[in-house]
Each structure stands twice: as structure tokens, then as C-alpha cells.
Chain A
Amino acid sequence: MRLHPGAWWVWGLCLAAVASRTTNPLLLGLIVAVAGFVAVRCRQDTPWAGSYGVFLVFGLIVIGVRVVLHILVGGIEGPTVLFTLPRVPLPEWARSIRLGGPVTAEGLVFSICQGMQLATLLACVGAVNALANPKRLLRSLPAALYEVSVAVVVALTVAPQLVASARSVRRARILRGDAVRGARAVRMLLVPVLQDALDRSLLLAASMDARGYGRGAGVSTPARRLTGALVLAGLFGMCVGAYGLLAGDAPVLVGAPMLAVGAALGIGGLLVGSRRVHRSRYRPDPWRPVEFAVLGSGIAALAVTIVAEAVGTAQLVYASVPLTAPDLPLLPAAGVLIALLPAVFA
């Protein structure tokens, strides 16, 4: 069954928010497993269904990069020295930066956990990508954001076309003997590719205009200004609120309430703005009970984690000094498992 992409995105972002609050490797592993299981169970036969694996590989690369960076530059240190790299002497003004030197087990574990956190965030996004086409999500945006969503869709379409045109220009360049080097060679590739991109965008714009894009936009200036102000204020509020919620150590008032106010302002702006665009939608994605269940399972997972953190029982942040085996905090783990529910009913 194809669900509303918005439901999947909220579910995935909630899981990602849980991941962003913890560095506990067991909990992170659990999140990756939950996201992966749901992605594999619920995905449809679509071209983008394989994106979970791609994001997972990407996450492994991130962990690798994080570890290499730690070995080179250091960070957290501990008593268990594994090996020592020759230290690169730096001038006086850069004394706070270390290049080379001893590599400790504690530091290594810490960097792996941090890498895992990023990789888990990526895995959540990958799972959502496998479940819902981002372009379909853009289609369900409110009419006020229509122009923005079209711009994003066009950009997504143009990127592969640019690659194709760069390839054909490169082949043509070899036909001329590939004799030009350096700055002129860049120009030889860029000039035709950019010309092609410009031509294509003009053709696309002409085609969209000829097919009625942007019809009947007769709105008064005050209404437009009101929309703009509301949306901007709403976005600002949501940014601050999201920061408060994710940072964990911000004052309570900055978190959820700010997010709520921002969201309300933003929605108001969108409602006012939607009146100016006269458009209909073919086969709109409906919001059925299933969508709300998926949405709810994600939000519940996040809520349980926040509660556990507030109660203070959970070991969400894993301390690698001294080196100990991590415990699985029960309450947050139970919360993450709630997010597994979509695999059952969706």
C-alpha cells in the first residue's frame, strides 16, 4: 500500500531526532535496524526503493572518515594508548591543534560512536527515501509553496541531464584529439554544457508557461506581504524550536513551545498564501488512519526518549572514559521499538 509521503518523512525525521540525542552505540544500532527493517518490509517496487543500502554505505564511509580524522587530529584521550603516530610540530599560534601523537582506545571508541550517530541519521533519511519519493512529497506541499516546490523538482530533473550533456561533450572533445589542457580544457567542457543547460531551462520554462504554469495570479500586494511575513516568522520560530529540542541543554521554553508557535505562524502564512494559486491536484495522497499510525509511532518513539532523558535514568550519552561496555537503556530502547510498528500494519 502506498502511504502519504509526509507520514514517512515525519516518522523518519522523528527517528533521526532520537539518534541525534544519543551516542549510545547499542541504541544507535537498534535505530539502524528498526529503520532498515521497516524500509525493507514496506518499500514498493520503485526506482528509488534501493536507496537505503546506498545511504548505509554512505554512513560507513562517514564512520571511516570520522575515525581517520580522530587518529590524525585527536580529541578525547584516555589512559589506554594503542599506538603512537609521529607528531607533526606546529607553530606557536597553532598549539591547540595536534597532528599525530598517541592514539588511545578510549578516543577511538568515542570517535566511532560519534561516526555512528551521523551514520544513523543518514540511515533514517535513507529509509525514508526508499519508502517515499521526495518529489511526491513536494507535490503535497501547500499551494503557497508551489513555486518553490517546482523549482526544486526542476533542479532535481536538471542534474542528471547536466551529467548526460557533460558526457556527450566530453566524448566530442576526445573527437578533437583531447589536445587542450588546463584552463582552456575546463572552458571547452563548461561552455557547451552551460549553453546546453541554459537552452534546456529556457525550453522547459517555455513549455511550463504554455501549459498554464502560474495562471490567474491576481493577488493584492498587502496579502502577498502578509503571507511573506507570516511564513518567515514561522520558519524562524521553527528553526529556534527545533534547535532547542535537539540540543537537549537549551531552556525548556525554547524547545517545544517555540516550535509550536513557529509551526502555527507558518501554517497561517501558507493558508493565506494558498488562496492566490488556483490549482487542483490529480490523485492527491489522502491522510488515512494508517498514515496517522505511522506518524504516531515515530512521534511516540521521540517522545519516550525525551521523557527518559528528562527523568534522567537513561544512559543516552555513552562515556568512553573509562572504557566500559555500554548498557542498553531500557526505556529509550522500548521507545525506538515503537517505531517498528509500521512494519506490521503498513
Chain B
Amino acid sequence: MIVFEHVTVRYADRPILSDVDLTVPEGELCLVVGGTGVGKSTLLRAVNGLVPHFTGGRLSGRVLVDGRDTRTHPPRELADVVGFVGQDPLAGFVTDTVEEELTYSMESLGLANPVMRTRVEETLDLLGIVELRDRPLTRLSGGQQQRVAIGAALTAHPRVLVLDEPTSALDPGAAEDVLAALHRLVHDLGMTVLIAEHRLERVAQYADRVIWLPGAGAPPVAGPPGPVLAEAPVAPPVVRLGQLAGWRPVPVSVRDARRQAGDLRASLAATPVAHMTVPVTGPGAGPVLRASRVAVSYGQVQALTGVDLAVATGERVALMGRNGSGKSSLLWTVQGGGRRGGGTVTIDGVDPASLKPAKRRERAALVPQQPADLLYLDSVDAECAQADLESGRPAGTCRSIVDAISPGIEAGAHPRDLSEGQRLALALGVVLCPAPPVLLLDEPTRGLDYPAKARLAAMLHGLAADGRAIVLATHDVEFAAEYASRVVVLAAGEVVADGPARAVLTASPVFAPQVAKVLAPVEVLTVAEVARLMQERS
């Protein structure tokens, strides 16, 4: 269905893909994996001709989709064969309401009205969005938007569906909905699906085949999921666990792993796990951040209704919960910049909302969802110098923080040209420059691959050990397992669970990391913990 013949893509002189030879047969769900910046998005966009017709650059070789050559067929002429869903569904919406959005590509194809009517109904049913038909697109939740975007691509009845990180912005429940819909498309309609994703723990189990792009000019490796992922630097925890325990074949789903895990489970059950949770007590012992009965509302919507949170120095708190459960609101209110409807917040005994912005940042640092919002100068050095100036610290303070987090960022580089991880490091340097005791992060793992997430977790461990209280909002269960000492779950503006990470993360299947699901009832969270336990035993 999709054939790449010696495809090389270069922007200016920089090759993104080199000499890619690939064939994706009809009816396969194919997963494209690789680190950040190896050209996953470029590969996907080459399938429907957005590369190079839309992005520029040079493409040599040939891409054939259903027998059509993308050299002679621009994206619009491939619209009836390839459906494309980008990373941010909202940014790709052309119309206002769900029904109009579903019909957009059919109108472009010039289909007859009765055909359009039936296809709209089919698609609404297939994706389970019938009740959303007349809703404005901007009022949908993230998972609903993603399903509408998929539906809008499906109504043209394409043979191939291409999705770029369809679940990265979604909470675990919404991601399940989207993946279930995709699974159904592959199995019921025999559609060929090509997905790129960082959160492999969510998708890998559905894939028929994995294409690993090693980057740096190496040819892609394609094959069955287990063996390919085991070789790649990016792999979900369940694959890593399988490798560690020496299971053959390497499992990709929790189910496969659990069936092979009997022996490991039995041997680990004999070892007490509790001692691995190091009790966290800061030098001052008392909490540095106290929030009590915090309420926030936007118009009629109650974002937070009486939330209590106390965080001590050295604690690493993960705030979890669905999209829209009030995580961001809580972070902004604690920082003092967000509107507070009621309740009290103190950091070191002072209400940050009563302080001027310049003094406030000496109390609490916040990295917003888009770290790039913080950056506005045209080089890394200029940003660092400005941050030193803003916080009245000696020159070089910001740069040294950035170097400690992510060494080797080019001084003259434009912040936009940095990788996601490097940009996050720069943003952290900027906000940590005035040395505040509290660090708040809003969804920092978006767009980070596994190695980058592991580095971020290690770095946050270091910052907490240096005497900071960290609160981080995330959907990423696996990251929370690696990073958090304590987990707070929010739902509909209230705290529904608050406790040590191990207890909260193993208590519910939605928030349980893969390792915990495989090895339950043994309460281990990460592959590293399993490795340590196995070492202790031998």
C-alpha cells in the first residue's frame, strides 16, 4: 500500500531521512518509533506528499501510495487515498462544529449529498461521537477533539490513515478511547494505519509491525514489535522488563508479559519492597508550601473546589487526573499568578499572590505547558543573560543551571531550533535563576522520548535533593512512576487520592505503570527497581 524507494529528504544541506526503503502492506497497523528529531514526522508527511510539496526541502527517490507517486500528486490530489491527522487536532480544524468538520474533506472531493449524509452518520457511530454532532469544536475535550479529527479524515474513505502522536496530549482514559477506535478501523475495515508515537506503552501492543528510525543516516529497521523495540533505544517498560528477565519472545503487551512473569513474581514476592521507598524529610521538616481550601472558578465552571495541599522540601509530587480536572489551575494558583476564588496559599509563610511578580518568582518557579512562551530572545545566551539580569544574580547563573540540566546546548542557537528537551532545560534555567524553594511544572514530558524523560526525572531528583519542593502535573503514568515520591490525583476540582507514589500508583489500574501491572501484587513501579531487587537477591 505504501512504498518508499530510496527516499532521501534534506532541508538545505541537512539530511533528515537518508535512503529509506520501506513497504507497508495493506491492512497493517504500523508504528514508527525513534528518538526526538530522527525524522518520524517527516516520514509520515512524505506519505501524503506534504513533504516536500508543502514543507519545501528536497526529496529524492520515490514514494508510492496505492500506486500514486507523490512527486506528481500533491497532498490535495491524495486526499481520497490518505487521511492525515496532525499532532494538535485543534490546530487542524477548519470549521466550527463537529458535523461541518466531518464533511469538509467530502465537500472538497465533490461527493454527492446523499453519500455525505450516510458517511457522516457511519463515522459518528464508528467513533462513538454521535452526541457531539452539533457541538462547537473548541468546547470538546482533548480526546473528543482527537476522535473528531480522525473522523474528519475518515469520511473521505481513505485507504491509509496517518497519525502523528495521536495520544500524546491525552489522559490515559481518553487515549484508550482513541486507540480503541483505531484498533476497530484496522480490524473491521482493513485500513492501513501508520502511527508515530512517543508513548509506546500505549500503542505498542496494537502494532502489527514497528519501524524504527535510528537516525544519523542509518537505514530504518522494520519488523515485528518485540524484537525491534528490544533493539531500539526507545521502548516501553514492558519490553525492558522482558529483556531484563530474559523472556523470549520479548513481550509488548502487559498480557503477554504477565503470562511469562510467574517465576519473577514469585521470587520478588519473597523480597520486601517497602525499604525502597526512602522517607522524604527535608531539613525544616515542616511543609514549605501550604495550600488550604483553594477554590478557583472560571465563569460558571468550578475548576477547583476546596483543594488542600502541603508540600515539604525534598518532596516530588505528581499531580494527576483527567484533562480538565484542575491540575493547571492548581499550579497557577499556587504560584500566585492565577486568580483564586477562595482559600489560602503560603510559601515560606508568605502568600505569593500578595507579592509583585518579580518577588513572586523568588518563591515559586513555574514552567508553563508551552515552555517556549517564556522565551522571546533570539539566542540561548541572550535568554540566559536576560534571566540573570531579571533575577539580579551574577552573570552566568542561568547558564550554569542550564548546563547542569542539559550540557552542551549551543550558546548561539535560537530557542526555537532546540529540541523539546533542550528547550525545557532552558526554560527551567530561566525560572530557577532566582533560586526559589518551590518548582512547579505543567506537563513537561510532552514530546520527550524515553531517554529524555529519564534524564528529566534524574534531574528533578537532584533538584529535590538540593532542597526544593517540586509539584508536577502530568498524564504520563510511566514518568510519574520514575519521578514521584508522592502522587495527588485530582478529579472535578477535588483531591480524590493523596499518598506515597507506590501506594497510589499501584492502587488503580488506570494510573498503574506497566511494571506494576505485570508484577502485581508485588508493589514495584519501574524496571530499575526490579533490577535492583534482582541484584539484592543474587
A sample of 11 more A-B contacts (CB under 8 A), given A175-B337, A203-B86, A282-B117, is A172-B373, A175-B368, A176-B431, A177-B358, A177-B390, A180-B386, A188-B376, A203-B92, A213-B76, A215-B109, A284-B113
Contact B335 A209 (CB under 8 A): no
Set B50, B79, B94, B136: member contacting A215, Cβ < 8 A: B79
Asked if A283 is at the interface (CB within 8 A of a chain B CB), the reply is yes
Complex CA–CA separation, A6 to B317 (angstroms): 57
Asked if A289 is at the interface (CB within 8 A of a chain B CB), the reply is no
Contact B156 A176 (CB under 8 A): no
Set B105, B368, B386: member contacting A172, Cβ < 8 A: B368
* Contact (A192, B92) CB under 8 Å given A175-B337, A210-B50, A279-B110: no
Complex CA–CA separation, A204 to B92 (angstroms): 5
Q: List 19 A-B contacts (CB under 8 A).
A: A153-B94, A174-B357, A176-B387, A179-B389, A187-B376, A203-B91, A204-B94, A205-B54, A207-B86, A210-B48, A210-B76, A210-B82, A210-B84, A212-B105, A215-B108, A280-B106, A280-B110, A282-B106, A282-B113
Tell me, rounded to whole Å, the shortest Cβ–Cβ distance linking A185 to chain B.
10
Complex CA–CA separation, A211 to B389 (angstroms): 48
Mostly, the A contact residues are helix
Contact A172 B92 (CB under 8 A): no
Contact partners of B206 in chain A: CB under 8 A: none
Map CB proximity to B onto A152-193 as digits: 1 under 8 Å, 0 otherwise. 011001000000000011011011111110000001100110
Contact partners of B330 in chain A: CB under 8 A: none
Asked if A278 is at the interface (CB within 8 A of a chain B CB), the reply is yes
* Contact (A211, B116) CB under 8 Å given A135-B96, A171-B337, A279-B110: no
Nearest 3 CB-CB pairings of A with B: A212-B108, A212-B79, A207-B92
Asked if A206 is at the interface (CB within 8 A of a chain B CB), the reply is yes
Asked if A89 is at the interface (CB within 8 A of a chain B CB), the reply is no
Contact partners of A203 in chain B: CB under 8 A: 86, 88, 91-92
Asked if A208 is at the interface (CB within 8 A of a chain B CB), the reply is yes
Interface members, chain B 351-396 (any A CB < 8 Å): 357-358, 360-361, 365-366, 368, 370, 372-376, 386-387, 389-391
Q: Which of B76, B82, B106, B337 has the most CB of A within 10 A?
A: B76
Asked if B152 is at the interface (CB within 8 A of a chain A CB), the reply is yes
Set B54, B332, B337: member contacting A209, Cβ < 8 A: B54
Asked if B479 is at the interface (CB within 8 A of a chain A CB), the reply is no
Set A169, A187, A200, A212: member contacting B80, Cβ < 8 A: A212
Nearest-neighbor residue (CB-CB) of A203 within chain B: B91
Contact partners of A280 in chain B: CB under 8 A: 106-107, 109-113, 116
Tell me, rounded to whole Å, the shortest Cβ–Cβ distance linking B189 to chain A.
19
Complex CA–CA separation, A282 to B375 (angstroms): 44
Contact A175 B91 (CB under 8 A): no
Contact B368 A210 (CB under 8 A): no
Nearest-neighbor residue (CB-CB) of A139 within chain B: B100
Asked if B103 is at the interface (CB within 8 A of a chain A CB), the reply is yes
Complex CA–CA separation, A199 to B100 (angstroms): 23
Contact A177 B361 (CB under 8 A): yes
* Contact (A282, B116) CB under 8 Å given A169-B373, A175-B337: yes
Contact B366 A209 (CB under 8 A): no
* Contact (A175, B116) CB under 8 Å given A191-B376, A280-B110: no
Asked if A79 is at the interface (CB within 8 A of a chain B CB), the reply is no
Tell me, rounded to whole Å, the shortest Cβ–Cβ distance linking B379 to chain A.
13
Asked if B75 is at the interface (CB within 8 A of a chain A CB), the reply is yes
Contact A211 B156 (CB under 8 A): yes
Complex CA–CA separation, A135 to B370 (angstroms): 31
Complex CA–CA separation, A168 to B357 (angstroms): 15
Nearest-neighbor residue (CB-CB) of A199 within chain B: B91
Q: Which of A135, A171, A180 has the most CB of B within 10 A?
A: A171
Asked if A91 is at the interface (CB within 8 A of a chain B CB), the reply is no
Nearest-neighbor residue (CB-CB) of A217 within chain B: B76
Map CB proximity to A onto B47-63 as digits: 1 under 8 Å, 0 otherwise. 01010011000000000
Complex CA–CA separation, A284 to B374 (angstroms): 46
Complex CA–CA separation, A280 to B106 (angstroms): 8
Set A150, A168, A279: member contacting B373, Cβ < 8 A: A168
Tell me, rounded to whole Å, the shortest Cβ–Cβ distance linking A239 to chain B.
31
Asked if A281 is at the interface (CB within 8 A of a chain B CB), the reply is yes
Tell me, rounded to whole Å, the shortest Cβ–Cβ distance linking B17 to chain A.
18
Asked if B430 is at the interface (CB within 8 A of a chain A CB), the reply is yes
Map CB proximity to B onto A192-203 as digits: 1 under 8 Å, 0 otherwise. 100100011001
Asked if A47 is at the interface (CB within 8 A of a chain B CB), the reply is yes
* Contact (A207, B108) CB under 8 Å given A172-B373, A176-B361: no
Nearest-neighbor residue (CB-CB) of A191 within chain B: B376
Asked if A248 is at the interface (CB within 8 A of a chain B CB), the reply is no
Tell me, rounded to whole Å, the shortest Cβ–Cβ distance linking A33 to chain B.
32
Asked if A214 is at the interface (CB within 8 A of a chain B CB), the reply is yes
Contact B91 A204 (CB under 8 A): yes
Contact B94 A281 (CB under 8 A): no
Complex CA–CA separation, A172 to B361 (angstroms): 11
Set A150, A188, A200, A210: member contacting B79, Cβ < 8 A: A210
Contact partners of B93 in chain A: CB under 8 A: 207
Map CB proximity to A onto B144-172 as digits: 1 under 8 Å, 0 otherwise. 00000000110010000000000000000
Contact A178 B357 (CB under 8 A): yes
Interface members, chain B 63-115 (any A CB < 8 Å): 74-80, 82, 84, 86, 88, 91-96, 99-100, 103-113
